[in-house]
Amino acid sequence: MGASTRLLRAVIMGAPGSGKGTVSSRITKHFELKHLSSGDLLRNNMLRGTEIGVLAKTFIDQGKLIPDDVMTRLALHELKTLTQYSWLLDGFPRTLPQAEALDKTYRIDMVINLDVPFEIIKQRLTARWIHPASGRVYNIEFNPPKTVGIDDLTGEPLIQREDDRPETVIKRLQAYEAQTKPVLEYYQACSISPSFLLP
């Protein structure tokens, strides 16, 4: 990347199960952006036992949402290591205070919003089954196991994650919508019109 090339700062938004991970990997590969996933960042910090990772884990273990200031510190700390790169943020900012804090440090050029109807997401997520030991994922609709409820390689039972049960999916989608609607409105008010995509 030449010195005169302007760096791109982009954010991708989408409800759980909207395909953010898949779309992000395609975008970052095609446009040579660094992909910063808040979920991956959290897991990595908890695994390494960093100060912020330990703090985040205390909230997760209590079943609480991680406070905005903790998520913001985590994301902004990581972004300091990416000052020479164009990047795509995935999962941050998720709330209005997070968006405002990010805006004080970086100018966001583009917001991509994956606008997938909740009914489709619900179908996708509730059809997902996992082999817990390996993490292998099956989907009853487009990648089913050879035998219902059984892992193809080990013959062990598959489970449905608590997050993928229908009643939990509905709650997660409603919480996502309540949290992120103000963020999208904030970016529109900043004259960054979110690009709406259906993956």
CA triplet 89, 90, 95: central angle to 5 degrees? 90
Which residue out of 94, 122, 136, 165 is catalytically annotated? 94
Confidence of residue 194 (pLDDT cuts 50, 70, 90): low
What percent of the chain stands above pLDDT 90? 49
What percent of the chain stands above pLDDT 70? 94
Q: Taking 90 as the threshold, does the pLDDT of residue 48 lie above it?
A: yes
Which single residue is written with the structure tokens 């059984």?
A: 150
Which residue out of 9, 122, 124, 128 is catalytically annotated? 128
- Residues tagged in the binding site annotation: 17-22, 38, 43, 64-66, 91-94, 98, 128, 137-138, 161, 172
Q: Which residue has the higher pLDDT, 2 or 70?
A: 70
Q: What is the DSSP string of 133-193?
A: TTTEEEETTTB--SBTTB-TTT-PBPB--GGGSHHHHHHHHHHHHHHHHHHHHHHHHTT-P
- Residues tagged in the binding site annotation for GTP: 17-22, 128, 137-138
Q: Is 94 a catalytic residue?
A: yes
Confidence at residue 64, expressed as pLDDT on a 0 to 100 scale: 78
Confidence at residue 84, expressed as pLDDT on a 0 to 100 scale: 92
- Residues tagged in the binding site annotation for AMP: 38, 43, 64-66, 91-94, 98, 161, 172
Which residue out of 9, 122, 124, 172 is catalytically annotated? 172
User: What CA–CA distance (Å, rounded) separates 163 from 19?
Assistant: 16
Q: Is 136 a catalytic residue?
A: no
Note the pLDDT tens digit of each residue in 112-148: 999 899 899 888 888 989 998 888 889 888 889 999 9
Confidence at residue 122, expressed as pLDDT on a 0 to 100 scale: 87
Q: Taking 60 as the threshold, does the pLDDT of residue 3 lie above it?
A: no
Confidence of residue 198 (pLDDT cuts 50, 70, 90): very low
Under 8 Å between Cβ of 107 and 78: no
Which residue out of 6, 9, 20, 34 is catalytically annotated? 20
Which residue out of 26, 161, 171, 181 is catalytically annotated? 161
Confidence at residue 18, expressed as pLDDT on a 0 to 100 scale: 87
Confidence at residue 21, expressed as pLDDT on a 0 to 100 scale: 81
Q: Taking 80 as the threshold, does the pLDDT of residue 4 lie above it?
A: no
Q: Taking 90 as the threshold, does the pLDDT of residue 40 lie above it?
A: no
Confidence of residue 199 (pLDDT cuts 50, 70, 90): very low
Q: Taking 60 as the threshold, does the pLDDT of residue 72 lie above it?
A: yes
Q: Rounded mean pLDDT of the chain?
A: 88
Q: What is the pTM of this model?
A: 0.78
Q: Is 104 a catalytic residue?
A: no
Q: Which two structure tokens, joined as six digits, stand for 153? A: 């390689």
Q: Is 6 a catalytic residue?
A: no
Q: Is 128 a catalytic residue?
A: yes
